[in-house]
A and B are shown apart, each in its own frame.
Chain A
Amino acid sequence: MFHGNYLDRRSFLAIGSLAGLGVSLPEFFFLRNAQANEPAATSLPVLAKSVIHIFLPGGLAAQETWDPKPFAPIEYRGDLRAIATKIRGEKFSELLPQTAQVADKMTVIRSLTHGEAAHERGVHNMFTGYRPNPALVFPSMGSVVSHELGPRNNLPAYLCIPDQPNPYAGNGYLSSSFAPFALGDKPERNGFKVRDLHLPSGVDPTRYERRRAMLELVNTDFASRITADNIGAMNSFYERAFDLVNSSAAREAFHLDAEDSKMRDRYGRNEAGARMLLARRLVEAGVRFITLTYGGWDHHAKITSSMRRQMPAFDQAYATLLSDLDERGLLDSTLVLVSSEFGRTPKINREGGRDHWSKVFSVALAGGGVRRGAIVGSSGPTANEPEETPISPEDLTRTLYHQMGIRADKELMAPGGRPIEIVNGGQVRKEIVG
């Protein structure tokens, strides 16, 4: 915050001043849609129209998932076997049998590295592409996408299932306008409903219209006298809320029960299945960036049994998601990223678990122009450190933005008129997107 920078307004605030100038709502929507349709800040080709970011919080062990070490001694290898995948000569953990069959749609990076072994610091790295800074919170990838590309089809540009998973998945130094929209309810719950999306009981659409007309009336007098940035921002959120509530397509997208029963079974009627299925529906409806979380993976003890409990549901849902998107012709335009804040120690500890390890770990990508059937990098014989092709969070985020048509060199404005690049450093990695 600083004195003096009078023109440092947030982009959406223009709406408030338009309202002050008496621009009518239809005109305003026209203007806004015109802006939204512009290929904002980019002349890059848009390969990934949407991103589904599946975040497995706690620090997922690569050894028990994407990067088994079948030839390492038992204390490195763990109890789980490795199985063949659709990528010749490459193996996944035995807990990913269905995913192994769609590996030819995926790129697995086995050499991600950042060196931040505390949860919140690792999370900051993986959501923002920046190392944590005590003076500034950076915006998450979803918020940057929201800022750069704006909403589509009356739906929030950035949405979290079920809620914003951590403080670094938010808007950071950007305006709250670009904060994620949280469902506020869990899709796996029976009777799941997005919070506050539906008209309250006893209010039918006719009555809702009357309410809305009265609200317009009450607001008119105030708006004619007072214009302010924060009031303009509130106005714009009200308009977006009305869009969302009134759009049957939008409401339909959240309506999981509308999905064919067989499809629900295919994904699995559980946390992982419901969340990923909902993510696919939202991609179809036009949401640009979806972050969903599943389970907890901070396995300091008993890693094998914990993995056996949580992994199968993920395997089924994730493999189904990739196949389903592909069958619908959406995989090429939808980038699915599976990540975690870091990996886990090469050796099993005395509690039968693994501790935090950020020197090397794995993430999985598919769709949105990502190579089909590729393994990038290696973590060496014991998953100790990148043996080849180390990939940084900056590389990963830059590559992801590139696929979405966003130039990561662009500078965004942080408080105090401090310009900050979307990603500082890193490269678009051809190993990933060829």
Chain B
Amino acid sequence: MKIFRRRDSGALFVLVLVALFSNAVTANPKFNDKFIELAIYPPEVTLDHSADYQALVVVATRADGVTLDVTSQVEWNTDGVAEQVALEDFTLRPKTNGNGNFTATFGDLVASCQVEVQAVDLVRPVSYRHDVMPVLLRAGCNAGSCHGSARGKDGFRLSLFGFDPAGDYQRLTRELATRRVNIAIPDDSLLLAKSIGSVTHTGGKRFDRDSLYYKKLRRWIESGVPNDLEGAPKVTKLDIFPPHAVLEGKEATQRFVALATYSDGRTRDVTDLVLFRSNNDATAAIDSDGLTKAGLRGVAFVMAQFDTHTVGSQVLVLPEGIKAQLPTTPPVNYIDEWVDAKLRTLRLEPSSQATDEEFLRRVTIDLVGMLPTSEETQAFLADPDPAKRSKRIDALLEQEDFSMIWGMKWAELLMVRSETNRVDYKAMFLYSEWLKQQLDAGVPLDAMVRDLLSASGGSFAEPEVNFYQIEPDTKKIAENVAQAFLGIRLQCAQCHNHPFDRWTMNDYYAFTAFFSQIGRKPNDDYREIIVFNRNSGETPHPVTGKGLPPRFLGGDVPNTKGHDRRALVAEWITSAENPYFASNIANRVWAHHMGVGIVDPVDDVRVSNPASNPELLDALGAKLVEYKYDLRKLVRDICQSNAYQRSTVTNPSNEADRYNFARALTRRIPAEALLDCLCQVTEAQEKFRGLPLGSRAVEIADGNTSNYFLTTFGRSKRQSVCACEVQTEPTLSQALHLLNGATVHNKINQGKVIERLLDKGRSPDEVAREIYLRCLSREPTDEERKQIAATWGEADRPVAELQDLFWALLNSREFLFNH
């Protein structure tokens, strides 16, 4: 068997290593360090048929959190179960029925494992569901680039990642009769011959003739291709061991084992049947046997995929002998406790605190999307009050502009836009007004979302129903709800089981069923649409052609009789027990202030995209619930934390890190706020559709209203709920527009700030200082002052020179970025 052959060579390699280590143990500092914990995985083993087996992994944890795979170095004591099992190549195999304990000893640490052997004489028949299907997945037969593609490959189609086992059974056994599977002469079956490359196969050789995989497929054909789909136990859980690893130094390794639990209570070692994958090969690549090797410093998530389950284990890779100044500033609140804990584990040194100038500018842009005025800046800098930062945060939270910023962000999420022939401008405008009122009135976010999702009525009278009118497609509505409010992207599962997450097509269609009974009809005014509950209608599952009863994602099937399905799902989403809702909103708020989400992107929560700091995410979500979804309270916590108030200046230990909040990130100011800031400092106003002259860009109601500046700087078009619609990546057009375009140049000329200041009798030097304070919230340095003054020499009214300085300030990186 291929798999065991590889393991053999691994064992040989380990033996050599052990030999090397035995000489070096005392000299190697690794072994002088104190180990505090030893664990055997899996912690319990049940073997329940003659060919059952279970591989073991033993992990030792050092006092500083570093883990070592010591499976090959421990001393095994299997005396207690010597009768029942044999241990070879760190794999247990059954001998006789019974149970007992065995232990592994490493230095002075001991770990034990309980073994139970039953039904040792049982020879299990080969199972289509549990032996054949997993082989097709593991060998890549049903991958998207092979037979799993929509049209199959070379005349043979399988369902992608095996989402339709019954259909696959049909195609395997009924198509190309006697050729694809040949029960009379199993070895002649194309299924086998192609797999081992003994006949031409576009996909090449997938495994060896003497492999476990070949044997399983052959046995299945030999026994007459039995179909055990009816009543076959389901996989209820998949585990990967060890649950986490902290590897030190390049080349450090850790072996992983995967264990499946079935609905009949059985467990099974599926290490040779899962697909192993790492989300970050540079840090921790994993091979097909589950062996991970440390690479570059960083965090990786190694995953195992089996059946419809994907599970992961976090692997941290640290360089050897690293020294870092760990956080010393006392935590301000729970946020810092969790952030600091992570920094200690990663040995990342936080940056120092931002200056008052930096803090004031940053918090003003984040909270109200504007810049502090020169007066505000000077007053803040002169204020000796040690609590002045907190007070400033509170003052900003009270401003109307704070609601505007979040009104805009919610409008992006709810796709507030007009749409030809579907959403009239008036309906859109009322929808936008509804949203604004909710936020102004301080309606708790959960109540607002509950209202929105369960709304019925006319699109003028009950404008929140526009959510169902902007996107009329039932499946897209379900996808939007999952992505916007739970941060889950279900899209993949529309056509096949999600390849990197737990969601199956059944989950998808059962969730879609909540939205399949929405009715729409025009009102007397043709521009108004009435959304109502039809009380009937299903979305057919494409495999079965039938609708599924509504089921909450990862939850129960509610009793829908006599209920509006949408009201039920709205209740479930916004309930305090919902595992996604509060933390998703909290994460969006966090990402707005920190530049990166704890789960990032914020609307892509999945097993294979785990949170960088799960405890922090949970804490923020729990706080939001505790605060009754009062956004201001959560924002206050975030802005008061050390994590938020750090400098953007990096140190060698944190310069490469983006995800652990050891420093503040520089962020390009989003399009609307940037335009507002430009208007603010130049005192030249803008006119937007549907708003009076001088209104702010963040107030624009319609996603379809834009101008060149906003479009070029990445304003969300609100075409989808995706957070990716807001773009802050720089482009050539942005640079050209700021350099030569109408916005900066014309605003300076129109606003006449320079002229007015000079008219008031301010000296050129004072004017320069004023526009520095306006644009950058700081005074010019001595060097800057000297060089700038040199451009106008003796002139007492250097308008053009000062305009050029203004232009330069508005083009500077320091202006464009929040830092």
Contacts and interface: CB of A to CB of B under 8 A. Distances in A.
Do A and B actually bind? yes
Interface of A: 1-8, 134-135, 156, 175-176, 179, 181-182, 184, 195-200, 202-203, 207, 210-211, 214-215, 217-219, 221-223, 225-228, 230-231, 233-235, 237-238, 240-242, 244-245, 416-417, 424
B177 to A, nearest CB: 28
B297 A196 contact: no
Nearest to A3: B659
Contacts of A237: 730-732, 734-735
A1 B724 CA distance: 11
Given A217-B784, A417-B281, A182 B733 contact: yes
B609 interface: yes
B284 to A, nearest CB: 9
A245 B739 contact: yes
Indicate the size class of the contact surface on chain B: 35 or more
A221 to B, nearest CB: 6
Nearest to A236: B730
Interface stretch (B186-194, B419-427, B624-632, B660-668): B660-668
B509 to A, nearest CB: 16
Given A4-B299, A5-B283, A231 B817 contact: yes
Nearest to B595: A230
Which of B656, B666, B728, B784: most chain A Cβ within 10 A? Answer: B666
B298 A3 contact: yes
B741 interface: yes
Sorted nearest first, the 6 A-B pairs with minimum C-beta distance are A4-B298, A214-B808, A176-B729, A4-B299, A6-B656, A241-B735
Contacts of B489: 135
30 contacts: A2-B609, A3-B280, A3-B612, A4-B283, A4-B299, A5-B283, A8-B282, A134-B491, A135-B489, A195-B708, A199-B740, A210-B804, A211-B804, A215-B811, A218-B808, A221-B814, A222-B814, A222-B819, A226-B666, A228-B648, A230-B667, A230-B728, A230-B729, A230-B817, A234-B816, A235-B813, A237-B730, A238-B739, A245-B740, A424-B145
Interface string B783-819: 1100110010000000011001101110111101101
B709 to A, nearest CB: 11
A276 B300 CA distance: 50
A193 B125 CA distance: 76
Contacts of B299: 3-4
A210 B491 contact: no
A207 B491 contact: no
Nearest to B660: A3
A181 B283 contact: no
B808 A211 contact: yes
Given A1-B601, A8-B282, A230-B667, 20 more contacts: A2-B600, A3-B298, A3-B299, A3-B600, A5-B282, A6-B657, A134-B491, A182-B733, A184-B708, A195-B741, A197-B736, A202-B749, A214-B805, A215-B807, A217-B808, A225-B649, A228-B817, A241-B735, A416-B280, A417-B280
B492 interface: yes
Contacts of B735: 234, 237-238, 240-241
B488 to A, nearest CB: 13
Nearest to B719: A167
Given A6-B298, A210-B791, A238-B735, A203 B145 contact: no
Contacts of B297: 6
Contact of B813 (A199, A202, A234): A234
Contacts of B667: 230
A138 to B, nearest CB: 14
B784 A2 contact: no
A417 B299 CA distance: 13
B733 A217 contact: no
Given A6-B297, A218-B808, A218-B809, A175 B729 contact: yes
Nearest to B775: A218
A309 B230 CA distance: 63
A196 B739 contact: yes
Interface string B766-781: 0000000000000001
A230 B730 contact: yes
A176 B665 CA distance: 19
A210 B801 contact: yes
Interface in B253-309: 279-283, 296-300
Nearest to A9: B656
A228 B814 contact: no
Nearest to A240: B732
B745 interface: yes
Contact of A234 (B145, B283, B668): B668
Contacts of A215: 807-808, 811-812
B650 interface: yes
Contacts of B817: 228, 230-231, 234
A189 to B, nearest CB: 16
A4 B657 CA distance: 7
Contacts of A221: 781, 783-784, 814
A8 B809 CA distance: 32
Contacts of A424: 145
Which of A3, A5, A245: most chain B Cβ within 10 A? Answer: A3
B298 A226 contact: no
A228 B819 CA distance: 10
A217 B787 contact: yes
A196 B737 contact: yes
A225 B351 CA distance: 13
Nearest to B748: A200
B729 A233 contact: yes
Contacts of A227: 650, 655
Contacts of A179: 731-732
B815 to A, nearest CB: 8
B685 interface: no
B127 interface: no
A135 B281 contact: no
Contacts of A176: 727, 729-731
A416 B608 CA distance: 10
A7 B296 contact: yes
Given A3-B298, A218-B808, A181 B729 contact: no
Contacts of A8: 282
A214 B735 CA distance: 16
B733 A203 contact: no
Given A176-B729, A226-B819, A227-B650, A7 B282 contact: yes
Nearest to B300: A4
A152 to B, nearest CB: 15
Which of A4, A5, A176: most chain B Cβ within 10 A? Answer: A4
A408 B784 CA distance: 50
Contacts of A210: 791, 801, 804
A182 B732 CA distance: 9
A225 B658 CA distance: 18
A240 B730 CA distance: 12
Contact of B733 (A7, A196, A199, A231): A196
Contacts of B740: 196-200, 245
A134 B495 CA distance: 11
A207 B668 CA distance: 28
Given A219-B814, A222-B813, A184 B791 contact: no
Contacts of B733: 181-182, 184, 195-196
A210 B805 CA distance: 9
Contacts of B666: 226, 228, 230-231
Given A134-B491, A196-B740, A203-B745, A219 B296 contact: no
B734 A211 contact: no
Nearest to B727: A176
A39 B746 CA distance: 43
A154 to B, nearest CB: 12
B606 to A, nearest CB: 11
Interface in B555-583: none
A219 B812 contact: yes
Given A8-B282, A210-B801, A196 B741 contact: yes
A5 B280 contact: yes
A210 B809 CA distance: 13
